[in-house]
Structure 1
Amino acid sequence: KQNGLMAQKQNAAFAAMTTNSSCTTGQDACINGSFAQCTGSTFSLTPCSSGLSCFVLPLLNSNGTSISCDTQDDAEARIQAVG
């Protein structure tokens, strides 16, 4: 359940971010549906494949979350599945 709450919180935080948001090298995020990696102090975006968007998803077998490209429906189902 905690993983689902963390995923929801991170997705909400990422929704407010832009490519101009400050970041720390090594930080990953989802920005405008793309996977974002911080190099230096700026985000570099890598678009997801067609039909997919970047989401924070809850891990199922351990504590934490992961960032990956997925469909909106599957991402929502994964978050709901963990409570």
Structure 2
Amino acid sequence: NGLDAQKLNAQFATMTSNDSCTSGAQACVSGAFAQCIGSSWELTPCSSGLSCFALPLVTKAGTSLACDTQSDAEARFVAAGVQGG
């Protein structure tokens, strides 16, 4: 889960709101939650002090996208047994 979330965050870091997308896809773009509507990203900013991250799930396989603090996101990766997010 940790490695999968790291891979997603690396992909998200290169994305912009102008990139094309597949309708229904979700991502973190420029620190905001992004949902693809048609072929365009619709961004929903996180609350102040938070950024969007792909985070490893704890109790089952997979990842989730969430608005979180940088420090809490990093702690979740450490808990998942990987360094960095």
TM-score, normalization by structure 2 = 0.93
2:52 partner amino acid: C
In structure 2, runs of 5+ residues without a counterpart are none
Give 1:27's match in structure 2, choosing from 15, 25, 40.
25
Name 2:59's counterpart in structure 1: 61
Q: CA deviation at 1:55?
A: 0.2
* Inter-partner Cα distance in structure 1 for 2:20 and 2:78: 31
Percent identity, aligned pairs only, is: 67
Q: CA deviation at 1:12?
A: 0.5
In structure 1, runs of 5+ residues without a counterpart are none
Q: CA deviation at 1:10?
A: 0.3
Give 2:69's match in structure 1, choosing from 71, 74, 80.
71
Q: CA deviation at 1:7?
A: 0.5
Alignment: residue pair count: 81
Name 2:41's counterpart in structure 1: 43
Cα displacement string for residues 12-35 of structure 1 (whole angstroms, at most 9, x for unaligned residues): 000000011111111000011000
4+ residue segments displaced more than 2 Å: none
Q: CA RMSD in A?
A: 0.5
Name 1:52's counterpart in structure 2: 50
2:47 partner amino acid: S
SS in 2 for 1:45: strand
